[in-house]
Structure 1
Amino acid sequence: MIESVSRHVFSGSSGTYDVHALELAAARVRKLKGLDLTIHFLDDTEHVFHIEKRSKGSTLLDLVYQHLELVEKDYFGLQYPDAKAGSKTECMVWLDPSKALKKQLASLQTDLYFKVKFYVSDPSKLQQEYTRYQFYLQIKKDILEEKLILPPSTAILLASYMLQSEIGDYCPEEHDENYLSAFQLIPGQTLELEKKITELHKLHKGKLPADAEFHFLDHAKRIDMYGVDLHNALDNINKSIQLGVTHIGLVVFRNNIKLNTFSWSKIMKISFKRTQFFIQLRREPSEDYDTILVFNLETYRSAKTLWKSCVEHHTFFRLHSPKVKRKFPFSLGSKFFYSGRTEFQTVSDVQMRSRIEHKFVRSPSRQLIKSMVSVPSVDERGKPFIAPARPPRPYDNKVTSLGSKEPRKAWGADTQLPDDDGNFPTKPPDTPFSPDKIQNYVDDDIPSPSPNGLYDTPPYSASHSPISQIVDESSVTITLYPDEEGKYGFNVKGGTNKDTPILVMKVAPNTPADNCSPRLSEGDQILQINSKDMTNSTYEEAVRLIREARSLNGGKLVLQVKPNISYNGMNEYEEPPYQYVPIEDAQTVQSSNPLEQSMLLLADGLASGALVARYEMLYRKHPDLTCEESSKPKNVNKNRYRDILPYDSTRVVLKEGANGDYINANYVNMNINGTEILNKYIATQGPLMCTTEDFWQMILEERCSLIVMLTTLVERDKTKCHKYWPDMDDCLALSNVTVKCVEEETDPTGSFVFRDFVLTVNETNEERQIKHIQYVAWPDHGVPSNPDQFLSFTEKVRESRRIDGDVPVVVHCSAGIGRTGVLVLMETALCLMENDEPVYPLEIVKTMREQRAMMIQNASQYRFVCESVHAAYTKTISESKEDSR
């Protein structure tokens, strides 16, 4: 009755307002004005966000971050295909937070992809486990899509950590010999690689998913292509190259091989005009001119994209704040600048927050299943994915506190690294897990984008040198209790006098100092120990108070510390000031002589893996040195390897060469600190057939009397060096000289071959005696298993050098960088030890690489020579003790 009356009344009324119909119409209008945007996430899930079309990009980004509950959000961004790129290939661009969505997205149905935009230089900077998990997912995608090129050894190691994170511990009952057949972990996966992955997976037993992912990231960061935003370009001779933007600066690649690095501290300005991209480098004190490098890009848009990427990366990684003041607010040119938070702001913000355990479930990676390796279509992405069944684990893909359950160690201190050829030792490396270690470096001056696509980087000065900087923050109180072994897990240094502060030297993983909250960090200044003021105390007093605390009040140790924020992004240009020394040896290191102290640090660096980690951060080619002469058309065929070229500044120049003045060789001079000794070398490649005459002409002109050969002629069915000498009693006749072999002898072990040559100058009949020592025992694959034999060979070289020490020794292997560098470092270290001088291998490598690129070619060679140096020192100490008895 009421309903019928109501209808009658409203139908006859002359003043009707249809609320419901208007609400529906308004909703339809709002929906038409909005955007339904599909965001694809790194775990292959997707979500649709409805947002106003007039909204800015920052609004959409905030919705995405809220959806993920992401705290350290500034490392990430959204990418979408750029319809305005004008290129045949699809071009992905980053969503600009400061611009309206309707100005950026051409289609209402645009899909966007959540990705890592700024690759952190060290995963220990990431405070949240969930953030590290997102990085882990991104790098897995980069590997499978072959954006991140890996050497076989690294690929296998990373794959083993993927397995540990995905399926947990290796279980013989559950995992048969074919259990990897359902997984695609790395490109080009074969049965042989799967066997190696399995062997390493077995050794990760006890690692939580978070541990495995951290170690995955820690090894991935050392890869040349890690975190590189690549842009295709042409160099000054129109050869195709790629310019990569990273946290370090600009890196030049050709065919995925790193050629050069221009760090932010070396760059003064970057700019672009039309299709050209310009870099102005810092003027050295010895120069009276500016160095400007020019690169050509495909289009104006690609040049601007590269320039914007440089602006963003420099601002994010190097500045405190992105806020800038324009000098010319009404000028022409690009007004772009990075408007988000910097890494410094992100780290500071997260540090100030109380730690929140973000519970989340790890999604089984769809990329790992072979049948789903290819990127799924939009329809396929929405389908649920069912993970392979497996018994539940107590920590099954859940975030748990590392302090509540310490993962069992898979191996001890004798960790070894795999070599670059894929030759694996029995135990993989394990970098200490220290996610709370915050490191940063920022410029003091704030640059501003200038008109016409010009961006100024701050001028270089001593204040910008890459060293740790203590930030003035309020002190914090940290309370520790010793573990079962009575240790707190940290070491201290400083206090050599009353004015030197006591600093935390190192924090060992999974110890009270590592698991406490707030965490004790490397570089923290200790202000008080159990209420005792330490601002004017000595090192000995600090150690005494820490040891006394173990036996008092249940071992309670209360520290008042000033936190430190340090930056590790430029490690490739500096020697680490110290390595971790176990607390029981700290007193020994503090009071020992410099050589003994350096050997203790060397031994600890070998045991922890830190020594090799530092080496892998070192530049392979000096960023400021050119190799132009080697690239000239007339000289290209004289290089055995196209990417191993001599620096112009130190190359050997032939004075009377029959084929020109070029030879692939560099002078390498090694000063022995504390003495007047200068060991001179010529590091060169193994001669080719076409360069044999040039090689002997170099011997003649440089008056060399000793040749050291560190390779056989053929290894693994590949020619490593041309036979540039004659057989016994035969002669090799060349245009300027004649070479005769008058003696050849092999030592009883078959490891060395000694030859004597007579070099006769054809024009004058002058004769010279040349000694030739060849090391034939270096294995085809990897490095020698024992340093003793190599040490014996080095001593033979030193004995022969003493005959005529004023002329350079010619040293070569195949490329003239790997084994050649090992010998130079070894002999240099022995000379330093003889003169009671400290030995720092990384400093020696840097000195060599300033004279010839890539000396000591890979991590396995570096580790081997460091082990050899320590073995030589140990042998010397033992012999001294025997002599004193």
Structure 2
Amino acid sequence: MSRRLRASSGSYNVRANEIAREKQERKMRCLVGFLDDTEEIFEIERRAKGQILLELVFNHLDLIECDYFGLRYSDSLTNADSKRWLDPMKSIRKQVKGPMYFTFAVKFFVSDPSKLQEEYTRYQYVLQLRKDLLEGRLTCSFNMGALLASYIVQAELGDYEPEEQTQGYLKNFSLVPDQTEEFTREVEHLHKANFGQLPVDAEFNFLQKVKNLEKYGVDFHNARDQSGLEIHIGITSLGVVVFQNNVRINTFSWAKIIKISFKRRQFFICQRRELHETRDTVIGFNMASYRHCKNLWKSCVEHHTFFRLVEPQPQPKKRVFFQLGSKFRYSGRTEYQTVEDAKRRLATKEREFQRSPSKRLFRRTISGTTSEIIRTETRSLPLRTGNHKPLLDNHTVTSSLPTRSSKFKSLGLNYHNSRYCSYDGHVPASPNGIRENGISKSEELLHPPKIMFMDDGGSDLSLTERSYDLLNDGPTPNGTSPTGDPLVSIRIKSDDRGRFGFNVKGGADQGSPIIVSRVARNTPADQCIPRLNEGDQILFLNGKDLTQYTNEKVVSTIRSIGDSGNKDLLLTVRPNVYVSEEAEEEPAFQYIPESPRVPNGGMESDPLIESIMMLQEGLESGTALTLFEQLYRKKPGLTMNACRHPDNVAKNRYRDIAPYDATRIMLQGSETGDYINANLIKMEIPVSDVTNSYIAAQGPLPNTCGDFWYMVWEQESTLIAMLTTNVERGRVKCHKYWPELGQKLLYPPHLEVACTGSEETPSFAYRDFIITHTETGETRKVLQMQYIAWPDHGVPDDSSDFLDFVIRVRQYRVGMTAPTLVHCSAGIGRTGVLITMETAMCLIESNQPVYPLDIVRTMRDQRAMLIQTTAQYRFVCEAILRVYMDGIVVPLEEFKTNGHRES
């Protein structure tokens, strides 16, 4: 009976089992927006990590150099407008608390676009930077914005067609925020000049220009300094930058950073100690929250690892049950690994892709109808949230599959490069550093962040004021009484030579405050009380307001005070370092970059060794080459009128290579006039009281050989350094301006040139000449040293022959006071390399720091464009390192104890 009862009933919960099955099979739908304004839905498992979605996105785009890119999403825990990068090693559900909407974007911006191996990668970069320009995240001047926009137009529309593209054909292009008619007209004008550029060429030119913008590739984070003022901390491939009121006020390069760390809401940067310091400097910033602070710290870790290391640091294998601090480490590939992998894969793979044109706007035709908008694959998806309004009511999604059309040219004229019609931001044009409120940058007072020093035991000493009181209302030991902003008065008495021992940078001409850039050891500026420090901003000099002073005027004023009977210099400065003795424990979460190397095992306190170390770090990181590319090629304000005179045009080998009027060599006895394409260059070597003189000239033309020899005669030059052959790659680089051995050449009215000796090796050629003035009978001996080992294209693979040539030139120059005539073909490229190399050797012998960029700047102030290419600059910088590292040139004994540069 009991058995019958048990079998007579039963139940099966169908719904419960269906729900269980749905839970097991349920997938997430992730919507990803791409840089060409297309969107795509990806389905993934609910517990999937970020790497799964990233791989789906990269495969969808068929992207090879994918490590430069990432996916961003809104961080609803901090701020709806705050964006975070998807961590590939963590579950997506644990990271994203809101809608599953992601934005595909560039995560790591290379310092040099030529490192990007594939055209398709550069195209994605261009799309990203176009958005940044349009939405105001990347700012530039009016002229630069128009130039960048012209490259965008060239890439989309192709060559200018006057029959089709009449005036106003770009009126529906949105290129920058708050676009004006004047801007559009300027873009139309520049578009015509881009004729012949393929899309790949225009995009590369766009990247080459945009990389020099101040905000290029900066990952910004909101913060506050110690005074509570809002600032922006940016992370770049070169290091950490600080902006205040859209003005960069500080830069911390990876080469100088020892450690980055954070604790709760405070972020710390530990820098290598300076020459005068006995402890490492730690700078602190206040963030809005712990999460903001950690996001900034993670960005630093990722950027440093990606750009500076060959491969990521491996995670420790030993398991720790209790560990303080974050275990986060960058898990992707480094830039080095990405470049090497791309070279390997692209060598065996042909790729094609099609550039997506900007979305068309509705526009009225002559008949009054509205033209059709290009749209494909419409889906019913929720609209994107934010302040932007969609152009259409119906949300439209398109897929972007990579196929190539190298000679792509849009068929339509009226294009728009964004779906949105509401934009924020602007492109300010700020000549002379004037801001909108009428205050110049030089008037802006800097508010430094919290400063700390690291003692030998590893504990932090919080330094919020100097050893003298700057923040109290009472008088400070130096007699100042700050009201509001802390100011310090410093009195410096010059030494017996009228020197004070410090350098300054900035000025009204540079659009930045007057800042103390260097204080030499054991000088009056170093020994005065209170001491003058690097980073101090000079506001008043002997009671004079320096707001409108140029850099040159400040330096000359300081020197004139030292040279006069009044030896005292009274400075009113805003200190950049605040000191206290309040102890604070070591920040908990730390990340220690690779330790900087010191060449030759030297001490960091040696200025020469430090400059060599900075040069080496700059070459490794690419910073040195970036700064060179940003340097002006022609000094603003200097005229070149003589070269344009009708009688002189035919005397120029190249139309765009011309001498400054202020420093050009003027002939006296030539029958063809006083003009020759050459400049006098003077390179001063501090401390040694030596000034090397050069004449930088173009290679003679058939019609300027006489002028060339008259210049040699009148300038009393006895050495000619020739850095080219007469013909390279089938093109004449320099006319043969000398006679053969045993022969003579006559140059009216009074010069005769005879060759008395000739010798040639595989690398060099030597020729002896006697120049005779036929009217007076006076004769002179001139030696020509020709370097013939420079390759027809590029730079030498090895610097041995070049360094041997420079050493031979220097040996012959001993005791010479007349200028050495140096020429190649144009008189700027190889000519600049030789002058830079010899100047660096002289600085090393004088135990002076070597800064190649300063050498190039000094040369270009006297002749435009000296050192013509980045490859030439890299070559000479590497040669300088070799000269020092191998001990080819060493400091002379007389300068080893007193070789510090002073001003």
TM-score normalized by the length of structure 2: 0.47
